[in-house]
Amino acid sequence: MDGGSGIIRLGRNLPENIKEVNILLTHLHLDHIMGLGYFSPLYDPDCKVKIWGPSGSMESFISKLMRYFSPPLFPVRLKELPADIQINEIENTTFNINDITVISEYICHPGPTVGYRCEIDNIIISYMPDHEPLLGSSNFPNSAEWCSGFNIAKEADLLFHDAQYDSAEYDRRIGWGHCSIKDAIEFGNLSKVKKMVLFHHDPTNSDEQLEAMFNENVENKNLNFVVVMGKENDVFFL
């Protein structure tokens, strides 16, 4: 999921015998692709790398990706990468990756951006790192069917979701494509998820600030689903 700085470590730790990799990009803002060029499977001629991402009305996904993989931003061009690379443009699409059914759908965020829903057996994992549900409907959080991202998140066992700001910060940044931790929790509640991981924290907020945001919005709120703050190296068992 996405190609931020974490994908570099993932590449280093992948078992050698893995020769097919799928990367699902939600959109091409820099924080979601800044690690992509350093992902080791892209340099393995025996590895097939399938990159999935949203099409746009003005410029194709592959054309935007080629802009990142070209000087002066990056020394290696997309076509020069040794791996067998396949680019897949998706919209509101259902597709399969081995035994995983993946559903992508456009969600509220500047530029073409999708959320992903992965269904494996009876487990549903949803992923929306950048999302502003408040702008998706006029009466958020009251009409589920009109709410941006609802189809991706509904009844998920595990939802990874944007929670970049506290309420005061969000009031100054409406339309930037992110949400307050309060709205994120409203969205999780509306979507009837079982567990929600809040992440895409604002880089300027300290751990102490995040803890205060969590205490204010989650602790003692009697939520009927589990909410945790995401951090590096977390592992979730379903």
| Residue burial 10-34, b: 16+ Cβ < 10 Å; e: rest | ebeeeeeeeeebbbbbbbbbeebbb
Q: What is the DSSP letter of 128?
A: E
Tell the residue number behind the tokens 């081995």, with chain if given. Answer: 98
Backbone angles phi, psi at 180, to 5 degrees: -80, 160
Q: Rank residues 29 and 154 by Cβ distance to Zn ion and give the closer one.
A: 29
**CA nearest neighbour of 130 among 195, 192, 201:** 201
Please report which helix (H) or strand (E) contains residue 101, including its range: strand 100-106
The count of other CB atoms within 10 Å of the CB of residue 231 is 11
- Among residues 29, 154, 182, 201, the one that binds Zn ion under rule CB under 5 A: 29
Tell the residue number behind the tokens 């009844």, with chain if given. Answer: 155
C-beta nearest to Zn ion: residue:
29
Q: Rank residues 44 and 116 by Cβ distance to Zn ion and give the closer one.
A: 116
3-class DSSP state for residue 186? helix
Q: Which of residues 157-186 bind Zn ion (CB under 5 A)?
A: none
Q: Rank residues 31 and 169 by Cβ distance to Zn ion and give the closer one.
A: 31
Encoding tokens for residue 186? 């409203």
Minimal distance, residue 98 CB to Zn ion, in Å: 27
Minimal distance, residue 80 CB to Zn ion, in Å: 27
Minimal distance, residue 170 CB to Zn ion, in Å: 15
Q: Rank residues 6 and 75 by Cβ distance to Zn ion and give the closer one.
A: 6
Minimal distance, residue 225 CB to Zn ion, in Å: 24
Minimal distance, residue 155 CB to Zn ion, in Å: 25
Q: Rank residues 44 and 130 by Cβ distance to Zn ion and give the closer one.
A: 130
Q: How far, in Å, CA of 43 to CA of 6, rounded?
A: 17
Q: Rank residues 82 and 110 by Cβ distance to Zn ion and give the closer one.
A: 110
Minimal distance, residue 32 CB to Zn ion, in Å: 6
Size, binding site for Zn ion by CB under 5 A: 3
Looking at 8-16, 26-34, 45-53, 220-228, which segment touches Zn ion (CB under 5 A)? 26-34
Q: What is the DSSP letter of 117?
A: E
Q: Which of residues 58-117 bind Zn ion (CB under 5 A)?
A: none
Please report whether residue 202 would count as binding Zn ion according to CB under 5 A: no
Please report whether residue 31 would count as binding Zn ion according to CB under 5 A: yes
Classify the C-alpha dihedral 91-155-223-232 as positive or negative: negative
Burial of 57 (0-12, 13-18, 19+ CB in 10 A): exposed
Minimal distance, residue 96 CB to Zn ion, in Å: 26
Q: Which of residues 108-147 bind Zn ion (CB under 5 A)?
A: 130
Q: Which residues bind Zn ion (CB under 5 A)?
A: 29, 31, 130
